[in-house]
């Protein structure tokens, strides 16, 4: 990811974190956002400008049942 962002410096990236939607809704929103934030912070640590990275969270994986992974 870092290499692509360095190769195309005009591009921005939206990072979306997901959770499976089981349990408390607020906790899942926070978890989804935290997952995206960890990726953003790792890219910033690798030299990608923070202004190019946007984070969001989806508290319930769309189109998937809780606890199931995409294959």
pLDDT tens over the chain, length 71 residues: 999 999 999 999 999 999 887 888 899 999 999 999 999 999 999 999 999 999 998 877 554 555 565 55
Query: Which pLDDT score is estimated for 60?
Result: 77
Q: What pLDDT was estimated at residue 22?
A: 86
Count of positions (residues) in the chain:
71
- The pLDDT, as a whole number, for residue 32 is 92
DSSP the chain: -HHHHHH-TT--EEEEEE-B--S-HHHHHHHHHHHHHHHHHHHHHTT--GGGEEEEEESB-TTS-TT----
Residue 57 has phi, psi (to 5 degrees) of -140, 145
Global pTM value: 0.77
CB count, 10 Å around CB of 21?
17
């Amino acid at each position: 990811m870092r290499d692509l962002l360095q190769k195309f410096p005009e591009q921005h990236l939206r990072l979306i974190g997901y959770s499976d939607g089981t349990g408390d809704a607020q906790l899942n929103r926070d978890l989804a956002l935290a997952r995206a934030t960890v990726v953003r912070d790792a890219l910033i640590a690798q030299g990608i400008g923070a202004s190019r990275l946007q984070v969001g969270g989806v508290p319930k994986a769309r189109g998937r049942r809780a606890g199931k992974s995409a294959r």
